[in-house]
Amino acid sequence: MKYTSMENLHFLIKEVHPIQDLLSASLYQDYDLESFDIMLSAAKDLADQYYFPYFREMDEQPVRYEDGKVIVHPMLGEIIKQTAENGWFGSCFSYEDGGMQLPQMIFHAASHIFQAANNHIVGYNNLTTGSSNLIVTFGSQELKDQFVPNMLSGKWMGTMALTEPQAGSSLSDITTSATPLQDGTYSIKGQKIFISGGDHQFAENFIHLTLARIDGAPAGTKGISLFVVPKFRQESDGSLTNNDVLVAADFQKMGQKGYATTHLLFGENDNCIGYLVGQLNQGLKYMFQMMNEARIDVGLTAASTAYAAYFASLQYAKERPQGRSLSRSGKKNINEEQTLIINHPDVRRMLFLQKAIVEGALSLLFECSKLVDLHKISDGEAKENYHLMLEFLTPIAKTYPSEMGRESINSGLQVLGGYGFCNDFPLQQYYRDIRIMSLYEGTTGIQSLDLLGRKVPLKNGKALQLILNEINKTISDAGKIEALNPYSDQLNNKVQLVGKTLQYLSKFANEGDFESYLADATVFMEMTSTVVVAWQWLKQTIAASEALGNQTGKFESIFYESKIHTMKFYFRYELPKTIGLAETLTNPEMLTILKEKELIL
C-alpha cells in the first residue's frame, strides 16, 4: 500500500522550495543533496517496516488505562527505539547538543513520511524533540545535561503540560502552583489534562514541560513560569525516585486511539519537584517556541494523514469496476463491461479535490520549514523578516491542513461508497484520526484569532506585507509564462479581495470595536488560507512548467502535467469560495455578538 509519494516530497524540497539555497551555510556544511536522499530513503524504509504495518492495529487495540498505568501497543517501544537510533529525535539540534544539525526541511520530510505511515506514533517522538528543544534553548546547562541526552536517545520521553480542567484554551486561568523550596527547586501541585504521550510502559521516565504559577505571581499569563517536572527525579547517585506524578486516566477518543491522551496529577502527596526553566514568569513566552513548532507539526500530521487517505482511495478507484461512461446520447451501453470508477467525472473530482488540498497543504508546510532554516542561518533584518513570515503563516499552516484535510478525507471516504464507512477499509480510520487536528494546540477558532488579531497587525502589518511580497513575486514569475497568465491574474484578483476585506474589517479595529473586528476571524482564516494555498499551487506550477520546458526535471513529464492540472482544479473548484467568504465578511449585519437577548440560542 502506498501512503505517500517520495516523488512529490523530492519535488517540494528540491524544485519548489529548493533546499539547495541552504547548503552554502556553514551550519549545513556536512550535507549535500545526496546525503539528504540517503536519509529520506532510510526514513521511508523505517516507516515501511515499523510505522505503516501497525497503523490499523493501533486503532483496533487502543491505548488503555489499567491500575494507574497507560498501556500502549506492544510494538511502540521498538518503534521509538529504532527512530531514536536513526537520530530523528533532535535531528536539527546542533552537534554540541547531541543532534545531527540537519535542516528543518529534512526533519519535516522524515516526519511527513512517518506521519503518513502512522499518525498515532509521531507525536511521541516530536513532543520529546520539542520539549528537549525547550530545555536546550531556555534551560540551564545543568538541566540540559541531566535531561536532554536521555531524551534524545528515546530512553526518556517528553511532553508539554499546559491544559487544565478549568482552563482549556484560556491559559491565563491555569492554577497549577509552584512553591519555592530552599534548594532552588519548586514543589508542584495541580492537574493537567489532555497531555499527549503523557505516559506508557516503554519509557524509563517522562519529562513534563509544565506551566505553573509561582506563589504570589501576577494574575494572568504574566505570572506563568515553565518547569521541568519529571515522573521520576534523579538522585545525586543517579538512581530514580518517584516524583509524585500520577496518571489519573487516559482519555478514550474517537480516533488516534494508539496515541495516549492522559490526565496527570502533580503533587497529590506534596512530593512533586519541578525545576524552573529560564526566568521567573516567562513560561508562556518560552512555551510558545514549542507551541509554534507543535502547530506546524499538527498541520504536517493532518496533511500527511490526508495524503495517505488519498492514496488509499486512489488505489480503490483504480481497481473497482462499476457503472459505465455516458455515450454522446446521454445513455449507457449496458452490454459494455463496467468501467473503473476512476473514469467517472464525479470520482475524478473527488480524487482531484484530495490531491489539490493535500499537495497544496504540503507545499505550504515546506514553505514554513524553509523559513525556519533561513531564519536560523541569517542575520539582521533578513533574520527578523523570516521570523515574521513564519509567524504569519503558522496559524494557517496549522489550520488549513486540519480543516481541509478533513474535507479531503471525507471526499476520499465517499470514493469508496459504502465500503468507505466499513472497518474493512482504512478510510474510516483516517476520517476519525484527522478530526482531532483542528482541536490540538489551539483550536481553529484560536488560530483564527491569532491570525487576524495578532499576526495581521504584527509590527504594523509588516508580517502581512512580507508575505504579500512573496505572493506577488510568485504572481509576477507566473506572469512570465504565458500559459499561466490566467491563473496569475486570478490569484492577483483574490489577493486584492483579501486586501479589500481586511480594509473593511480594519475600520472596526480603528474604531476600537475589537469584538466586531474579530467576530468572524474563522471566516477570515478560511478565506486567507484558501488564497495562500492557491499561491503554493502557482509556485508548484511554475516549478513544474520550468521542469517541463527545460526538461530539467527529475521526474516523468506526466508528474509535472498532473501538478499543472491539479493547480487548474484548485483554481476552478476551491479558489472561487473566497468570493462568497468576502461577501460574508463585509456584510454589515453583525449576528454573533452577544446582545442582551442571550436566550436567542
**3-state DSSP assignment of residue 191:** strand
Please identify, using beta-carbon distances, which residue of 87 and 445 lies nearer to a copy of itself.
Answer: 445
CB of 349 to a copy of itself, least distance (A): 5
Closest to 341 measured CA to CA, from 407, 404, 412, 408:
412
CB 582 within 8 A of CB 501: yes
Cell of residue 35, nine digits:
546525503
Burial letters 78-94, b for 16+ CB under 10 A, else e: ebbeebbebbbbbbbbe
How far apart (Å, rounded) are the C-alpha atoms in residues 289 and 284?
9
The grid cell for 542 is 511554475
Taking the least distance from each CB to a copy of itself, the nearer of 552 and 558 is 558
Task: From 113, 290, 284, select the one nearest 196 (Cα to Cα).
Answer: 290
| In the complex, least distance from residue 506 CB atom to a copy of itself, rounded to whole angstroms | 13
Closest separation in Å from C-beta 319 to a copy of itself: 13
- Compute the least distance from the CB of residue 72 to a copy of itself, in Å: 17
Nearer to a copy of itself, 149 or 445 (CB): 445
**Type and span of the H or E element at 514:** helix 514-519
Written as one letter, the residue type at 569 is F
Minimum CB separation from a copy of itself for residue 458, in Å?
14
CB 362 within 8 A of CB 534: no
Count Cβ atoms within 10 A of the Cβ of residue 457 and give its class: 0-12 exposed, 13-18 middle, 19 or more buried.
middle
Query: What minimum distance in Å lies between the beta carbon of 98 and a copy of itself?
Result: 33
Cα separation, 472 vs 402, whole angstroms = 26
Contacts of residue 580, defined as CB under 8 A and 6 or more positions apart, other chains included, come to none
For a copy of itself, which is the closer residue by CB, 1 or 326? Answer: 326
The CA-atom distances, in angstroms, between 27 and each of 14, 370, 431 are: 19, 14, 40
Indicate the DSSP class of residue 342: G
Classified as helix, coil or strand, 232 is: strand
Distance in Å, CB of 530 to a copy of itself, minimum? 10
Closer CB to a copy of itself, 87 or 168, in the complex: 168
Contact (CB, 8 A) for 230 and 186: no
Quick one: 542 or 575, whose CB is closer to a copy of itself?
575
Q: Which residue, 250 or 293, is less far from a copy of itself as judged by CB?
A: 250
Pairing assessment for the beta strands 205-214 and 177-180 based on DSSP bridges: parallel
In the complex, the smallest distance separating the C-beta of residue 399 from a copy of itself, rounded to whole angstroms, is 12
Which of 180/445 has CB closer to a copy of itself? 445
The minimum distance between CB 480 and a copy of itself, in angstroms, equals: 21
Q: Which is nearer to a copy of itself, 373 or 520 (CB)?
A: 520
Q: 150 or 438, CB closer to a copy of itself?
A: 438
Q: Give which of 135, 138, 159 is closest to 149, Cα–Cα.
A: 135
- C-alpha cell at position 382: 533578513
Q: How far is the CB of 147 from a copy of itself (least distance, A)?
A: 27
